[in-house]
């Protein structure tokens, strides 16, 4: 397990450094680093155990690697709305479970587990929401506190 963690950390940090050289904002880089931890923290809160953070962290960063092209596409197209990040991340999370994690269960039982796909989609939604909050939430104009002039 430590070798997997080191390999994933090296790959993910290399991708983040490459994006930093390409001019990605510091908020977006922070989101790329911190948002994949959201499912780990959610699992730790549900299980009331810090051990789930340690065991899930390498896997969520490994599964976050395919999300980087989705992020680059959304940035190029200007898709920065919250719902777009949540839907895209949920679809990617469910698809990754369908292609990878669910394959072992299908081989053992011969059935497709919709529950596992839904949980993975939920974790994907969590990452998408956390990414959007870190990277883009403060960039929206807040017009609720505008002062009127001329009084």
Distance between CA 88 and CA 5 in Å, rounded? 26
The pLDDT of residue 129 is 92
The pLDDT of residue 30 is 85
3-state helix, strand, coil in the chain (%, to 5): 80, 0, 20
The pLDDT of residue 50 is 77
The pLDDT of residue 32 is 85
Nearest-10 crossing angle of helices 67-77, 51-64:
60
Radius of gyration, CA atoms only, the chain: 18
- How many residues in the chain? 151
The pLDDT of residue 91 is 92
In this prediction, the residues of the chain whose per-residue pLDDT falls under 70 are 1-2, 4, 52, 101-112, 139-151
The pLDDT of residue 22 is 80
Take residue 147 and report the two structure tokens written for it.
Answer: 């002062």
Distance between CA 24 and CA 70 in Å, rounded? 15
pLDDT for 7-45, tens place per residue?
777 887 888 888 888 877 888 888 888 888 888 888 888
Assess contact for 44 and 24: CB atoms under 8 A. no
């Amino acid at each position: 397990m430590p070798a997997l963690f080191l390999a994933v950390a090296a790959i993910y940090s290399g991708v983040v450094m490459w994006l930093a050289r390409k001019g990605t904002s510091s908020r977006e880089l922070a989101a790329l680093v911190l948002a994949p931890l959201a499912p780990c923290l959610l699992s730790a809160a549900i299980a009331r155990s810090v051990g789930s953070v340690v065991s899930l962290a390498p896997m969520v960063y490994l599964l976050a690697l395919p999300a980087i092209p989705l992020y680059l596409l959304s940035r190029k197209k200007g898709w920065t709305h919250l719902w777009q990040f949540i839907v895209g991340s949920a679809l990617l999370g469910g698809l990754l479970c369908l292609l990878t994690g669910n394959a072992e269960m299908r081989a053992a039982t011969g059935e497709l587990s919709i529950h596992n796909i839904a949980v993975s989609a939920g974790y994907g939604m969590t990452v998408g929401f956390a990414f959007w909050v870190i990277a883009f939430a403060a960039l929206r104009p807040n017009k609720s506190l505008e002062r009127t002039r001329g009084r």
